[in-house]
Amino acid sequence: MTTLSAPPAVPNSSPSSSPAPTRLSRRVQKLLPSATVAISGKCRALKSAGHKVFDFSIGEPQFDTPQHIRDAAVKALNSGWTHYIETAGPLEVRKAISEKLRKENNLSIPAENICISAGGKQSYFLLVHALFDTDCGLECVLPTPSWLSYKPIAELAGAKVIEVASTVENDFKITPDQLRAALTPRSRLLVMNSPNNPCGTMYAPAELKALGDVVNEHNRRHPDPGLVVVTDEIYEKLLLADVPFAPFAAFVDPDRCVTINGLSKSHAMTGWRIGYAAGPAELIKAMTKLQGQMTTCVTAFCCPAITQAILHGEADALQMRDEYRRRADVVFSALRTIPGLRCPRPTGAFYLFPDVSAYFGKKSPSGKIIANAIDLCSELLERHHVALVPGDDFGPPGHRHVRLCFAADIPTLTEGASRIRDFIASLS
């Protein structure tokens, strides 16, 4: 077999009449790689050098997908689900989702108003591209700290992102006054995510209602183009405390609310790439049209597994939730007594987002000054092999924080927490 060597790279600035093949679009050049991906790269390098790494950087369940859900996909694969399917997903699967929304969330959203996509991330991507034009001057209001994909994906679509910073003192929840102050006649989208990545906390129903009232009042005064809310409820099943879950769609005009959810976190199915959006017909139709030109449809043989997970997977989700509760207790108890570390008790999802700014300016035993969360994370990883994510990418005031995902097993969490404690004690 002949091995072809790669052609020499063509510099971006090469003078030529036609664009050089390596000249990239400005919008892709502007996209920043995420801090999580950089940390994962370092983790992989340490692991391949033979080190045990206490990796709390990636936000994904460490359980396997339940067997009966896998069986449904295998059966589908072996019985002909190998062709293109409807762009929005098979109607019977969307009916199962519609029924879930009715039974569990008291929302009446017909199957026709649901689009199944390759993950909640793709659902969000489709939505912002359906709402924004390049240089449209319309705004996307984003409470922060927030999942690190919301901002770049919205900017890619042409939105101007307005960040509204929450605080550790307020359990990372924005107030109605903060929301009111952030809204303008150009506000087009409000992004809600409760339970929240990266903060690990969630809004109580009364708090959501108060924010919903602000949205409704705004839309009465500025109906055109009006504010749409996207509520990303991917961590709906990961409730860690007594705060009940409430869908944000219950508090705003259903014609202006899109609910995003999926199976990645609730049923340990990150690699399957399954998510969905449910909302007003016109928007879902536009998103489906876009999906038709992007990926055509989701993977066919996964579809019966979606129905299986939604109709018969509740016990699995609860079992995993109970285990996350135990893990949250272990890691929170271990970290809460570290002097200088400030963190609310996690109430949802599987994250802690402690404020580590008390250690900025201190020196590690290697002589390195810890100027910020990035230094802290890289020193912790290099010297103690514990991987956390610096909070910078999650928006203000994330630069004072680090994110720890506690989806790992209890022995790993216990050892990791003790290494964090030792590292912090070693700073002078």
- Which residues make up the interface to ligand PLP (CB under 6 A)? 59, 119-121, 147, 193, 197, 232, 234, 262, 264, 270, 275
* Shortest CB 384 distance to ligand PLP, Å: 25
Q: Tokens in use for 234?
A: 């991917």
CB count, 10 Å around CB of 233?
22
CB under 8 Å to 237, separation ≥6 — which residues?
Answer: 265, 266, 317, 318, 320, 321
Q: Which lies closer to ligand PLP via its Cβ, residue 270 or residue 414?
A: 270
Q: Is 192 left (phi over 0), alpha (psi -120 to 50) or beta?
A: beta
* Shortest CB 5 distance to ligand PLP, Å: 37
**Sheet order of strands, 402-405 included:** 351-352, 402-405, 389-390
Q: Which lies closer to ligand PLP via its Cβ, residue 34 or residue 216?
A: 34
Q: Which lies closer to ligand PLP via its Cβ, residue 158 or residue 262?
A: 262
Q: Which lies closer to ligand PLP via its Cβ, residue 121 or residue 400?
A: 121
* Shortest CB 406 distance to ligand PLP, Å: 14
Q: Which lies closer to ligand PLP via its Cβ, residue 132 or residue 351?
A: 351
C-alpha 192/C-alpha 249 separation (Å) is 11
Q: Which lies closer to ligand PLP via its Cβ, residue 232 or residue 392?
A: 232
Q: Which lies closer to ligand PLP via its Cβ, residue 34 or residue 414?
A: 34
* Shortest CB 196 distance to ligand PLP, Å: 7
- List the one residue out of 88, 86, 84, 87 whose CA is nearest residue 278: 88
Q: Which lies closer to ligand PLP via its Cβ, residue 121 or residue 129?
A: 121
CB under 8 Å to 219, separation ≥6 — which residues?
Answer: 226, 227, 253, 256
Alpha helices in 106-204 (DSSP H): 120-131, 150-157, 176-182
Q: Which position's Cβ is nearest ligand PLP?
A: 119
* Shortest CB 119 distance to ligand PLP, Å: 3
* Shortest CB 325 distance to ligand PLP, Å: 19
DSSP assignment of 94-105: HHHHHHHHHHHH
Q: Tokens in use for 237?
A: 């099943």
C-alpha 148/C-alpha 167 separation (Å) is 17
Q: Which lies closer to ligand PLP via its Cβ, residue 119 or residue 344?
A: 119
Q: Which lies closer to ligand PLP via its Cβ, residue 192 or residue 227?
A: 192
Q: C-alpha angle with apex 336: 335 to 337, nearest 5 degrees?
A: 95
* Shortest CB 40 distance to ligand PLP, Å: 13
Q: What is the DSSP letter of 369?
A: B
User: Using an 8 Å Cβ cutoff, are 305 and 68 in contact?
Assistant: no
> How does 367-406 read in b/e, with b if 16+ C-beta sit within 10 Å?
ebebebbbbbbbbbbebbbbbbbbbbbbbebbbbbbbbbb
The type of residue at 108 is: S
* Shortest CB 401 distance to ligand PLP, Å: 16
* Shortest CB 254 distance to ligand PLP, Å: 21
User: Using an 8 Å Cβ cutoff, are 370 and 362 in contact?
Assistant: yes
* Shortest CB 216 distance to ligand PLP, Å: 24
Q: Tokens in use for 270?
A: 């990150």
Strand partners, 259: 231, 278
Q: What is the DSSP letter of 116?
A: E
C-alpha 272/C-alpha 264 separation (Å) is 8
Strand partners, 191: 230
* Shortest CB 142 distance to ligand PLP, Å: 12
Q: Which lies closer to ligand PLP via its Cβ, residue 90 or residue 145?
A: 145
